[in-house]
Amino acid sequence: MSCNYIMDTDKIIVKNMSKKFRLRNSGSQSLKASIIDMLMPNKRRKKKDFWALRDINFTVKSGETLGIIGANGAGKSTLLSLLAGTKIPTSGSIETRGTISSLLELGAGFHPELTGRENVYLSGAIMGLSRQQMNDRFDAIVEFAGIEKFIDQPVKHYSSGMYVRLGFAVAVEVDPDILLIDEVLSVGDIDFQRKCIKKMNSFREQGKTMLIISHDLHTIQSISDKILFLKEGSVIGIGNPESIISDYESHSRQEAAKSLQREWGTGRIKITDVKLCDNHGNEKEKFDSGIPIKIEISYNAEHVINKPVFGFSIADEEGQLVYGNNTQIEKFETGTINGKDSIVLQIDDLNLATGNYLLSFSVHSDDHEENYHRLDNHYPIRVENSKEFEGGVYLPIKWK
């Protein structure tokens, strides 16, 4: 068996696949511009290349369902259109085995002027089904879509829900080997979503292959055998749904934290480094409650400064203040400082509810008139608390 041997149960094989788009100002190139390009290759206007997908590798086996997640613009829909064959990869290869039916970007290829019935037959013909085969499936399609009354109306009069329902019904009823679905679950009502999921499950049981894009993490986790996490055109992870989705969620948290970050101040004292350590002195981002934390704040004072105030605060993921304190409140004498040094903050018990928090550090003047340096929400941490309680903070209490 050679390395290139491909299991015959592999239905989709994507190898080192990349897709580049050319960005232009207007939708379509003018003939003039392209003649100028041809005649004067040196003066070629700088076109911006945009790599929608870079070096993608994965396989999907027969009977497997792959969920694709990622932020908007990560390349999910482009990936699906490449698999559907409506776009061609710039490099690398895509191999698919069997008939493919797809519901890309919210809608089948329906013609607005034609009726629902005519469009159903058109979609069937695109899939390569004969009129007779479509006759046999027609009733099931109409029933699944629940649009009996409107089937002979032009689809331009359909609501977006009806449009997607009919699209989904056709896509599944044409009996493909591979089904590609882009965000169908977010459109229909709950009733239809339930019907879709039921249909997808029975599809899975028949040993068919599915690729699904959804922002509904809960549903996609329950349907998928594997999850592919895309970010800015690259695969961040592929594998077990639970772990990939938790990666994705923590990734999204960090992205969200970035938007809350702020750094400001006059700079007469600068916080040069903050080390978050456990009681053994190991740097960490994840802490269990009940264990002491040592935070070492290094700073550099350019001038002699008398009695600066060092402060810190803890905020939740949304930036809502949970706790804050400083050296002045605690009556800790910082004295006169000059040059490089550090100060240590010890928290004996970080008794917060399990969750993600953002730490801020600051140094300001004794009279609060001058902010030397502030690092707002710069340090994300995670706290795991084994105790069960209500709310955000555990207070040491006793019942008598």
In terms of CB distance, is 88 or 190 closer to another protein?
88
Backbone angles phi, psi at 150, to 5 degrees: -110, 5
Build a one-symbol-per-residue string for 267-306: x at contacts with another protein by CB under 8 A, - elsewhere: ----------------------------------------
Question: Are 98 and 8 a contacting pair, CB within 8 Å?
Answer: no
Three-state secondary structure of 293-310: EEEEEEEEEEEEEECCEE
Per CB under 8 A, 4 contacts another protein: no
In terms of CB distance, is 94 or 295 closer to another protein?
94
CA atoms of 138 and 124, how far apart (whole Å): 10
Per CB under 8 A, 135 contacts another protein: no
Q: 149-178: which residues touch another protein (CB under 8 A)?
A: none
CA atoms of 194 and 215, how far apart (whole Å): 16
Closest to 318 (Cα-Cα) out of 388, 242, 380: 380
Per CB under 8 A, 21 contacts another protein: yes
Backbone angles phi, psi at 195, to 5 degrees: -60, -40
Interacting residue with another protein among 13, 36, 71, 114 (CB under 8 A): 114
Per CB under 8 A, 109 contacts another protein: yes
Residue whose entry in the numeric block shows the structure tokens 């993490």: 217
What's the distance, Cα to Cα, between the start and end of the chain in Å? 73
Per CB under 8 A, 221 contacts another protein: no
* Min separation Cβ 270 and another protein, Å: 49
3-state secondary structure of 36: helix
Interacting residue with another protein among 13, 71, 94, 122 (CB under 8 A): 122
DSSP 334-361: --EEEEEEEEEEEES---BPSEEEEEEE
Per CB under 8 A, 77 contacts another protein: no
* Min separation Cβ 175 and another protein, Å: 16
Interacting residue with another protein among 87, 215, 268, 284 (CB under 8 A): 87
In terms of CB distance, is 20 or 215 closer to another protein?
20
CA atoms of 296 and 284, how far apart (whole Å): 12
Site size for another protein (CB under 8 A) = 36
**Burial degree of 368 (CB within 10 A; 0-12, 13-18, 19+):** exposed
Which one of 4-12, 125-133, 337-345, 369-377 is the stretch in contact with another protein (CB under 8 A)? 125-133
b/e per residue, 157-174, with b = 16+ CB within 10 A? ebeeebbbbbbbbbbbbb
Interacting residue with another protein among 113, 148, 263, 330 (CB under 8 A): 113
Per CB under 8 A, 108 contacts another protein: yes
What residue ranges bind another protein (CB under 8 A)? 21-22, 28-32, 34, 81, 84-88, 100, 102, 104-105, 107-111, 113-114, 118, 121-123, 125-131
